[in-house]
Amino acid sequence: MIETSTSNQRPSRRSMDPVDLWVNATPTPAADQEQYTSGAQPKSAFWRSFSQLSPTDQTETMRKIVLQWPYAKEYYAAVLPRVIMPGMTFVSAALIARPVIKTFLLPIASRANRAPILVAATTASMAQYAMDSFFVQRVLDTDQSVCAQCLTLRRVALTVAAGIFLPAFSFPYLCAYLAERGQQMKVPVLKSSSDLLALGIIGSKDVWRMRLMAPLLAAHILIGTAATYSQLWARDRIIPTLEDDPELFRTLLVKSEESPIASLEKYVGSLPLLRWFTDKK
The verdict on residue 207 lying in a domain is yes
CA distance 257 to 253: 7
Residue 6: predicted pLDDT: 46
The whole model's pTM is what? Answer: 0.71
The verdict on residue 60 lying in a domain is no
The verdict on residue 95 lying in a domain is yes
pLDDT at 89 over 90: yes
What's the number of domains the chain is made of? 1
| pLDDT, tens digit (0-9, with 9 covering 90-100), for 205-231 | 888 888 889 999 999 999 999 999 999
Residue 67: predicted pLDDT: 87
Q: Give the length of the chain.
A: 281
The verdict on residue 83 lying in a domain is yes
CA distance 43 to 49: 10
Average pLDDT score, the chain: 76
The region of weakest confidence among 29-33, 35-39, 124-128, 137-141 is 35-39
More confident of the two residues 262 and 257: 257
More confident of the two residues 218 and 180: 218
| pLDDT, tens digit (0-9, with 9 covering 90-100), for 15-55 | 444 334 334 444 444 444 444 334 445 566 677 777 788 88
Q: What percent of the chain has pLDDT over 90?
A: 31
| Domain with 229 in it | 79-249
The verdict on residue 160 lying in a domain is yes
pLDDT at 183 over 70: no
The verdict on residue 64 lying in a domain is no
The verdict on residue 238 lying in a domain is yes
The verdict on residue 208 lying in a domain is yes
Residue 57: predicted pLDDT: 84
Residue 28: predicted pLDDT: 42
pLDDT at 165 over 80: yes
